Amino acid sequence: MANSPLSEDLKPLRPPPLIIPIPTPTSSAILLPSLMAMQDDEFQANTRTSKRQRVTDGDTNSKGTLQCQVCYRSYDRADHLNRHLDSHATVTFPTPPDNPSLTQPSLDADPQGANQFCVDSFPNIVNPDAQALLNLCSDGYYQPPGIPSFFEQIMVSEPDFIAMETSQAPLDLMTWMPDIDGLGEGDLFGTDFAPTIDQTFEAQRVLDGFFVGPKDPISKESLESAQLQNRQDAARMRHAIFQRSPWLWVPSENQHTFSEDDKIILDERNVDLASSPHEPSAATLSIADRLSPQARDRVFQLVSKTAQSQISIPSFPSADCLDRLIKVGIAKRTETDAWIHPYSFESETARPEFLTALIAAGCVCFGIPSVSRTGLVLQEIVRVALGRLTEHDNSTIRDLQYLQASMLWLDIAAFCGFKRKMEIAESSLQPLVTALRRAGKLDKVSYVTTAPAAHDSEDILEKKWHSWVEHESYKRLVYHLFEHDIKMTQVKSRNPLTSYAELTLPLPASRALWLAPSAEAWRTRLLNTETKDASTSLRTLLQDDSAVKCLPPSIDIPIARSAYLHGLAAQIWEHSKQSALFENGTDASSQLWLQSRQQKLEQCLQNTDFTIENSPAIACVFHQFLKVSLNVDLDTITRFAGKCGEEEAHHAYTQLQTWSSSKKARTAVWHAGQLLRSARSIPPYQIRGADSFMIYHAVMVIWTYSMMLRDRAIKTGLNTPAHANVEAVQKEKTPIIFLDDQPDSNQETANAFILTGSGVPCLRIVSDHSQSLGSPERHEICSVKIPSQVMRVGVKLLEACHPNVPREKGPPLSQALCRLMEELGGLR
């Protein structure tokens, strides 16, 4: 046998004269080397034809004309049968365990139909040698070499992309599965990279030498043709997974703006705030404005004029229905950075494009599929209408409502889960950035201080208030745009369009001032607020790291902290690109500068206190995501998963080999686990944007680390624990590190894992959302050493964030990411 070190020393023997005793666990280690010596090249080459038999026409049960006499599968073409028989041609014997008390799991099913084998298939065997081999296989010491799969091909020292068609049964994620032990430094891909518990043993490869004689060898040309075809099919299948992912969009012929939805159907009974579990608006916010029938008609006119005959409108919602949707669209903005002022809004004077954008924003917050679809149609209406508006009147690009409407539809489409809309939104951010930059709204010189006086008349006070609101609206819009741009940069892996260094405009005023319901209330609060540090900007915060810890009360502290975090994110992105450029260089000064820069960024993130107790859960997710990004290149992770094909996956694998055994890898994995913990604290139904991508990337980092762990264990021949249940795990002396635990609960073991790699890293598979009331949180334990279980963690987390909602009715982005993780988890 080619892979056996004994095949060169022992001369092949003809098997029939041998008398082999029935093996026992203690004698198996002595017996196996003798069995391996029986496989000579001539014997292997002459086995195929005897195992190939043409099915007669009278066989009504046959599905093809050629049949394998090993597993009785039928084929129509000889090259397909030859390719199948090649899987019966070679055998690799792993060394059996030294401890005879170690039992193997029960084996009663074969996930690969071509490798089925059962002792009962040979009831008339009387040859004692053959019976001994069958008993040996029944003892569970023989592990069959699996057909090379995707990750088994790319994770080799030199690329050898020869893929065979294979099927894999779903893994049992309720238990811990055993790792593959005792393979040494041989070819990693002679065995399943992620074996199932019910994997059967294919001993027929050895038995062929006992029961068959020499036959015609397989054609070399047929083998090469079959290998080429399999290689192309496998690459096409894996790349197709990412073709269906949210990243890649290939425009099809006749696809246009309204090809996804060609009608507006909105049942007003579904627009009920009380019946929606998504809490679409805050109960404490009261907006006095009310949409009039005339304003409703202006919205309808815009929709019908823009869509023309491309969509049908059987009926249009009433003014009351649209008024509820508009207020939901405004109120939803106040939950985060509140960049649309609710109390100065007037629907009578508002642009119809702005009103339609608010209606669309309100629709997507309800979580009802029919309402959400209407919102996406209206989003397209707004996008097209704004483009036509600027063509007719160029001055509108300086209008605040035009800019706000543009930001609204970009927010809706950027993470909606529809690839066409997402790509268009990504490419349409540049005009908005340019409009604000050329208007000078990114610079402090465009903003003047507006202060009321105690003796101001009512008219003067009202004018000052509206002027102040307009300036503040620009500030909040710019910082919201900056954060949107940075999130797109991080999760879409593209360069930012804005720079933290150019944002010299002052930070927005405090939330109390911003949400003052009237001019009089605004004057009262402003006169009682200290405003000496009103010129604080993002640039000043980044220049002095300590400034973020002592922010003045006159500014919006949550926005300031969030802007500072996104400024660090931009610097981390720059650092990652510079690391990719100089990482393998020979310039010592560049290497030293990169290390120093990383330490500085780590210190800045460490000094920024973002916890569930003092910050929104979404901000905590982003904070942990930046710590992950600082310790691993996410683009390399996605390439390893096969986004760019097998060759790029192999190149990424070679880069990740060194990383996977480093402190940086364990640091990235720890913070990825902390990201998942923070994500479980996000209120139900609220994960629908960039946070979904961050959860996906965190899971991919842990999954990649899991794949590399398994690869290293197999190559070095290290035994790894095979736990069957949670109780067995807890009895182990090796400490368990839950990556998604509270840091304070296992800080010592976590530090030991990060520094030395000690302990068993685990995750929790949570089925219920942490915010669910009336029932305790239920979870299963997931070993990080089982890659497909790691993918299960991400899928269950996204599903749990939308309780009582079937996946097919959940957010399209969550559906797409769940399918992607499931398909990648199914690859080996």
From its phi and psi, is residue 439 left (phi > 0), alpha (psi between -120 and 50) or beta?
Answer: alpha
CA distance 684 to 698: 20
Segment (H or E) for 70: none
Sign for the pseudo-dihedral over CA of 326, 327, 329, 330: positive
Question: By C-alpha distance, which of 162, 147, 131, 137 is closest to 88?
Answer: 147
Q: With respect to residue 6, please indicate whether it lies within any of the assigned structural domains.
A: no
327, two tokens: 């207020």
506 beta partners: 537
Instruction: Report d(CA 252, CA 692) in Å as an integer.
Output: 27
Beta bridge partners of 738: 762
Instruction: Note the pLDDT of residue 88.
Output: 63
Residue 461's Cα: distance from chain center in Å?
51
Q: Give the contacts of 17 (CB within 8 A, at least 6 positions apart).
A: none
In this prediction, residues 359-367 reach a mean pLDDT of: 89
Strand pairing class (779-783; 74-75): unpaired
Half-sphere exposure of 647 (CA within 13 A, CB side): 1
Q: Domain for residue 22, yes or no?
A: no
Selected residue with higher pLDDT from 406 and 645 = 406
Over 70: is that where the pLDDT of 667 sits?
yes
CA pair distance 231, 718, nearest whole angstrom: 31
Residue 215, Cβ neighbours under 10 Å: how many? 14
pLDDT tens-place string over residues 442-495: 999 999 988 899 999 999 999 999 999 999 999 999 999 999 999 999 998 899
Q: Which residue has the higher pLDDT, 644 or 282?
A: 644
Asked which of 25-34, 271-280, 399-408 is least confident by mean pLDDT, the reply is 25-34
To the nearest 10°, the Cα dihedral for 437, 441, 444, 449? 170
pLDDT exceeds cutoff 70 at 121: no
- Whether 296 is in a domain gets the answer yes
Task: Give the lowest-confidence range in 74-88, 296-310, 481-495.
Answer: 74-88
- Residue 321's pLDDT band, with cuts at 50, 70 and 90, is very high
Q: What is the full DSSP assignment across 21-73?
A: PPP-TTTHHHHHHHHHHT--HHHHHTSHHHHEEEPPTT-TT-SSSEEETTT--
Distance separating alpha carbons of residues 632 and 576, to the nearest angstrom:
9
Report the relative pairing of strands 736-738 and 760-766 from DSSP bridges: parallel
Strands 66-68 and 74-75, bridge-based pairing: antiparallel
pLDDT band for position 293 (50/70/90)?
A: very high
pLDDT at 314 over 90: no
Considering the domain boundaries, does residue 249 fall inside one? no
Q: Using CA of residue 335, residue 341, residue 347, residue 352, what is the dihedral sign?
A: negative
What pLDDT sits at residue 191?
31
CB 572 within 8 A of CB 629: yes
| 259, 210: one domain | no
- Three-state secondary-structure class, residue 534: coil
The verdict on residue 216 lying in a domain is yes
Same domain, residue pair 688 and 668: yes
List pLDDT tens digits, range 31-61.
Answer: 344 444 444 444 444 444 444 454 444 444 4
Q: pLDDT-derived band of residue 412, with 50, 70 and 90 as boundaries?
A: very high
380-398 pLDDT, tens per residue?
A: 999 999 999 999 999 999 9
Crossing angle of helices 458-492 and 690-716, in 10° steps, is 20
Three-class secondary structure assignment of 515-560:
CCCCHHHHHHHHHCCCCCCCCCEHHHHHHCHHHHHCCCCCECHHHH
Judging by beta carbons within 10 Å of its beta carbon (0-12, 13-18, 19+), is residue 698 exposed, middle or buried? buried
Query: For tokens 């202006």, what's the residue?
Result: 298
Q: Residue 246: its pLDDT value, please?
A: 60
Give the C-alpha separation, 505 to 449, whole Å: 12
Pair (334, 406) in one structural domain: yes
By C-alpha distance, which of 174, 28, 256 is closest to 781? 174
SS3 track for 373-401: HHHHHHHHHHHHHHHHHHHHCHHHHHCHH
- Answer whether 701's CB lies under 8 Å from 676's CB: no
* CA-derived radius of gyration, the chain: 32
The band of 274, judged by pLDDT with boundaries at 50, 70 and 90, is: low
Mean local confidence (pLDDT), 114-134: 44
Which pLDDT belongs to residue 100?
42
Q: Which residues contact 354 (CB under 8 A, 6 or more apart)?
A: 401, 402, 404, 405
Single-letter amino acid, residue 51:
K
171 in any annotated domain: yes
Residue 255 confidence (pLDDT) above 80: no
Clarify whether residues 499 and 629 are in a common domain: no
Closest CA to 88 of 65, 116, 54: 116
User: In the prediction, which pLDDT does 265 show?
Assistant: 74
Task: Report residue 716 as tokens.
Answer: 């070095």
Q: Do 592 and 728 belong together in one domain?
A: no
d(CA 320, CA 682): 31
- List the single range of 123-137, 656-670, 770-784 with lowest mean pLDDT: 123-137
Lowest mean pLDDT among 65-74, 583-592, 633-642, 715-724: 715-724
Q: Does residue 14 lie within any of the structural domains?
A: no
Q: Which of 73-77, 189-193, 362-366, 537-541 has the lowest mean pLDDT?
A: 189-193
Output the DSSP codes for 443-487. SGGG-------TT--HHHHHHHHHHHHHHHHHHHHHHHHHHHHHH
Report the SS3 class of residue 68: strand
Please state, as a whole number, how many other Cβ atoms lie within 10 Å of the Cβ of residue 99. Answer: 8
Q: What is the pLDDT of residue 646?
A: 78
Do 623 and 730 belong to one domain?
A: yes
The pLDDT mean for the chain works out to: 75
Of the two residues 611 and 225, the one the predictor is more confident about is 611
807: exposed, middle or buried (C-beta count within 10 Å: 0-12, 13-18, 19+)?
A: middle
Provide, rounded to the nearest whole percent, the portion of the chain with pLDDT above 70.
64
Among 243, 266, 297, give the residue marking a domain's end: 243
pLDDT class for 671, splitting at 50, 70, 90?
A: very high
Taking the C-alpha atoms of residue 797 and residue 793, their distance in angstroms, rounded to an integer, is 6
9: in domain? no
Q: Tell which residue, 245, 84, 233, has the closest CA to residue 161.
A: 233
Domain residues for the domain of 141 are 28-243
Name the token pair of 153.
């091909």
Closest by CA to 283, choosing from 319, 331, 326, 320, is 331
Q: Give yes or no: residues 391 and 435 share one domain.
A: yes
Candidate from 232-241, 469-478, 540-549 with smallest mean pLDDT: 232-241
- Phi/psi of residue 764, each to 5°? -110, 135
The dihedral sign for the CA sequence 598, 601, 603, 609? negative
For 193, the token pair is: 């990279």
Q: What is the mean pLDDT of residues 95-104?
A: 42
Q: How many domains does the chain have?
A: 4
Q: 511 and 410, same structural domain?
A: no
Of 394, 418, 441, the position where a domain reaches its end is: 441
For 748-798, write each residue's pLDDT tens digit.
888 999 999 888 999 998 876 544 433 445 668 888 988 888 999 999 999
Q: Do 288 and 394 lie in a common domain?
A: yes
Dist CA 162 CA 573 (whole Å): 36
68 and 145 part of one domain: yes
Question: Are residues 239 and 263 located together in one domain of the fold?
Answer: no
Pair 434, 471 in one domain: no
Among residues 381, 384, 391, the alpha carbon closest in space to that of 361 is found at 381
Q: pLDDT: is 803 or 211 the higher one? A: 803
The β-bridge partners of 67 are 53, 74
Q: Which residues pair with 761 in a beta bridge?
A: 737
**Would you state the pLDDT for residue 136?**
42
How far apart CA 655 and CA 666 sit, in angstroms, is 16
Three-class SS state of 789: helix
Mind listing the pLDDT tens digit for each residue in 709-741? 888 888 776 645 444 344 555 555 678 899 998
- Residue 507 clears pLDDT 50, i.e. is over it: yes
pLDDT over 90, % of the chain: 41
**End-of-domain residue from the set 608, 643, 658:** 608
Q: Report the candidate in 661, 706, 626 with the shortest Cα–Cα distance to residue 194.
A: 706
Determine the Cα–Cα distance for residues 272 and 287; give it in Å rounded to an integer.
17
For residue 1, give both structure tokens: 């046998």
Helices (H), 247-318: 293-307
Residue 515 contacts residue 344 (beta carbons within 8 Å): no
CB 252 within 8 A of CB 302: no
Q: How far apart are alpha carbons 809 and 815 in whole angstroms?
A: 9
Question: Shortest CA distance to 65 belongs to which of 55, 51, 73?
Answer: 55
